[in-house]
Copies of this chain bind each other. A is one copy, B any other.
Amino acid sequence: MPQVSDRGKAMPDSPIRKLAPLADKARERGVKVYHLNIGQPDLPTPPAALAAIKNIDRAILEYTPSEGIRSFREKLAKYYHKFKIDVDVEDIIITAGGSEAVTFAFMSCLDPGDEIIVPEPAYANYEAFAIVAGAQIKSIAASIEDGFALPPVEEFEKLITSKTKGIMICNPNNPTGYLYTQEEMNKIRDLVKKYDLYLFSDEVYREFCYTGSPYISSFHLEGIEQNVVLVDSVSKRYSECGLRIGALITKNEEVKRNVLKFCQARLSPPLIGQIAAEASLDADPEYMLSNYNEYVNRRKFLIDGLNRIEGVYSPIPMGAFYTVARLPVDNAEKFCAWLLADFEYQNETIYLAPGSGFYTASDKGVDEVRIAYVLNRQDLAKSLKILEEALKVYPGSRVKKTEVVKNEMNS
């Protein structure tokens, strides 16, 4: 039997999905599982998108241009202009989700052995896409004590070598919900300029900023227009994860030329998804506002609830719909598995994403979890109660009765 690739073996299991078999088994036992692990919004897709799908008037479902349907790209350009992102239709290339946009960005800009710097915790699949491109992620840990603010510039500079080709950020951030300030973005800009790096900027959560602080796009930063490769997606914005429609936006002609070759090789992004996504750009402002307000409320409810549980701490996320919380447990991955395999409260349990999967260093995030607030308030309330009860009885908990802890320490 021939050997599989080392690259495939090196690919990480998704921290968001790796415990899915345990969740399946819990369900088989009749236990209800609340999914806080995955960024799958429960809010409705815009009616305009669903109508566009139902009204498809085509006899043949043909390839679209490799770079995407022109009318969709034109509308997207106008959408970005509303955020003062000054891009032209030619700068926008449609991809199969933000995932393909990151992949093509790395493939087009990075060669095997090249390095990129990523503040962590970070979206877990960046590491997977770096492996696909043969590139190395050099990480700088942001700290929960600082609310996951940008680590000091000196930390970045320590990592910069001749192999460093770029910095990757996600703003507003998945998994922390952090929103970079103008000052932080200026520091990133200066680094990018000083070392002539790419700035890969994942901005799929731009519509979800909750604190009144401005959303600063990497395209707002002056003097690095040729360095920015922006990643976007309609998945989260419009609850359209299943469409697989994203975009890669760059003003760098050479990058565009490379990206287009990868696009041509896979022929076309999904046709129906593009039609639905284009219609979504006309979504009723009421729809957007209603979803926004729902996340605002959930955020307050969840974070307040988390911080009321003994030993639990969550900074206040400023955007997206996640938070990274610290739990009073020996090992959050064990705890997450235990929640699914060995625990239930009133016949229900919760599925959290272990924090360690959002760091490349194995000693980071050991007592952290990512929680997505993609459930309604009632389910969030139940989830918080389940977490509280679980922490009382989990064998590796640090908030149990003192004797039990002592026994464990002696064993």
Task: Enumerate chain A interface residues (CB-CB to B < 8 A).
Answer: 1-9, 11-14, 17, 38, 40-45, 49-50, 53-56, 58-64, 66, 96-97, 99-100, 103, 107-112, 114, 125, 128-129, 132-134, 165-166, 196-198, 226-227, 239-244, 252, 254-255, 257-259, 261-262, 264-273, 276
Contacts and interface: CB of A to CB of B under 8 A. Distances in A.
Contacts of A44: 59-60
Contact of A45 (B1, B60, B111, B133): B60
Contacts of A3: 165
Contacts of A255: 4
B267 A270 contact: no
Instruction: State the number of copies, please.
Output: 2
SS of A interface (majority)? loop
9 contacts: A1-B227, A5-B258, A17-B66, A50-B59, A61-B243, A62-B242, A243-B270, A243-B271, A270-B272
A255 to B, nearest CB: 6
A143 to B, nearest CB: 27
Contacts of A58: 45, 50
A241 B268 contact: yes
Contacts of A38: 63
Contacts of A244: 96, 244, 268-271
Contacts of A166: 2
A242 B258 contact: no
Contacts of A62: 40, 241-242
A197 B1 CA distance: 8
A293 B55 CA distance: 31
